[in-house]
Structure 1
């Protein structure tokens, strides 16, 4: 869980946006919208959730994983790059 106030605020903002997207998706399904816009909305929700996952993992990695033999943080940056690419 993000511990710094800035990270926590960013994560909560993303969660609220995802909530809004899900509510819009629910309304579209209830209204009987065509499949194409519904599929686009689902893809947008999935992208938003992946973005949240990256942000929380980034915060966790920076706070919890310290590589003593890597004072410049190169290994941390490599790990974060791998996580971001995997979740795209």
Structure 2
């Protein structure tokens, strides 16, 4: 995932927050917390994972699917940006 190097810190921070969310779910289950609380935490974690996936896909599209020599207003770049918007619409 070398294309992620410039976004590495941001992605690692997202993963660390997700780890904290998973640990909170684990504690809630261990403490026999209300189902609604466990579900709320699990849903938040799923949203965080979806956001992480969307960021990695976006980086991949911009780094590997778009010719860096293509002009900013090229059809290829427009299609890539449309794809990024679709990914974000479905995952975030």
CA distance in 1, matches of 2:3, 2:86: 22
Instruction: Output the CA distance in 1 between the equivalents of 2:12 and 2:2.
Output: 10
What value does the CA root-mean-square deviation take over the aligned residues?
A: 1.8
Aligned partner of 1:78 among 78, 82, 86? 82
Higher helix proportion (structure 1 or 2) = 2
> Does the CA-based 8 Å contact 1:2-1:8 persist in structure 2?
no
**TM-score (ref. length: structure 2):** 0.85
User: How many residues are matched?
Assistant: 87
Q: Any gaps of 5 or more consecutive residues in structure 2?
A: none
**Aligned partners of 2:25 and 2:38 also within 8 Å:** yes
Residue equivalent to 1:28 = 28
Question: 1:62·1:76 contact (CA, 8 Å) conserved in 2?
Answer: yes
Paired with 1:4 and 1:25, the residues of 2 have a C-alpha distance of: 29
Deviations 1:22-50 (A, max 9, x none): 00100000000000111100100000000
Ranges of 4+ aligned residues in structure 1 off by more than 4 Å:
none
SS state at 1:3 partner = helix
Tell me, yes or no, if the aligned pair for 2:4 and 2:56 is still in contact at 8 Å.
no
TM-score by length of 1: 0.88
